[in-house]
């Protein structure tokens, strides 16, 4: 058995017109390649948007922490005396439902900073009067940190 060989025809003018269509197909394939190249830029812009939202969330969180820092009361280092005996203690003013207290005492503290008075009262024994101390010096949160570090 013999294999039939197809005869090849010479190019006709019609065939010449068909070639540019193939070129158009190549151009469309090139445009598809360009579209594929454009997609990574879309992904990059999407990543940049994600980073922007992350940075906005971080900035909002930092602003919230700063607001809490300015609103909340800060500890104070009080130097107070009574009958020649001088003591330093950390005083934390009350906030919302928390009562003011002194860290090294289990007595209830009421400080009148403007009048330089500190009253320490027994919480459970109402019959005993409060003891009045004179405030000599008031220092801020940095002094409190140094005081705690030295102790």
Mean pLDDT of all residues in 78-88 = 88
Does residue 26 form part of some domain?
yes
Mean pLDDT of all residues in 2-9 = 75
Q: What range does the domain containing 40 cover?
A: 14-71
* Counted domains in the chain: 2
Asked if 87 and 27 sit in the same domain, the reply is: no
Cα–Cα distances in angstroms (integers) from residue 81 to residues 6, 87, 117, 151, in the given order:
118, 6, 10, 20
Question: Do the Cβ atoms of 75 and 147 come closer than 8 Å?
Answer: no
This prediction's pTM: 0.54
Given a cut of 90, is residue 3 above it in pLDDT? no
Question: Do the Cβ atoms of 111 and 78 come closer than 8 Å?
Answer: yes
Given a cut of 90, is residue 69 above it in pLDDT? no
Asked if 97 and 53 sit in the same domain, the reply is: no
Q: What percent of the chain has pLDDT over 70?
A: 71
Q: Identify the pLDDT of residue 125.
A: 77
Asked if 101 and 141 sit in the same domain, the reply is: yes
Asked if 53 and 29 sit in the same domain, the reply is: yes
Alpha helix segments (H runs only) across the chain: 13-71, 141-150
How far is the first Cα of the chain from the last one, in angstroms, to the nearest whole number?
109
Given a cut of 70, is residue 65 above it in pLDDT? yes
Question: DSSP character for 129?
Answer: P
């Amino acid at each position: 058995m013999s294999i039939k060989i197809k005869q090849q025809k010479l190019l006709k003018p019609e065939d010449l017109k068909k070639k540019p269509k193939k070129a158009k197909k190549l151009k469309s394939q090139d445009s598809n390649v360009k579209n594929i190249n454009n997609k990574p830029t879309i992904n990059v812009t999407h990543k940049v948007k994600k980073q922007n939202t992350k940075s906005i969330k971080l900035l909002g969180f930092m602003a919230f922490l700063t607001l809490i820092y300015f609103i909340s009361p800060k500890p104070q280092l009080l130097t107070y005396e009574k009958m020649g005996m001088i003591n330093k203690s950390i005083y934390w003013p009350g906030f919302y439902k928390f009562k003011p207290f002194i860290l090294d005492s289990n007595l209830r503290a009421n400080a009148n900073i403007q009048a330089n008075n500190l009253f320490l009262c027994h919480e459970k024994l109402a019959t005993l009067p409060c003891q009045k101390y004179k405030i000599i010096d008031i220092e801020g949160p940095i002094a409190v940190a140094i005081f705690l570090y030295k102790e």
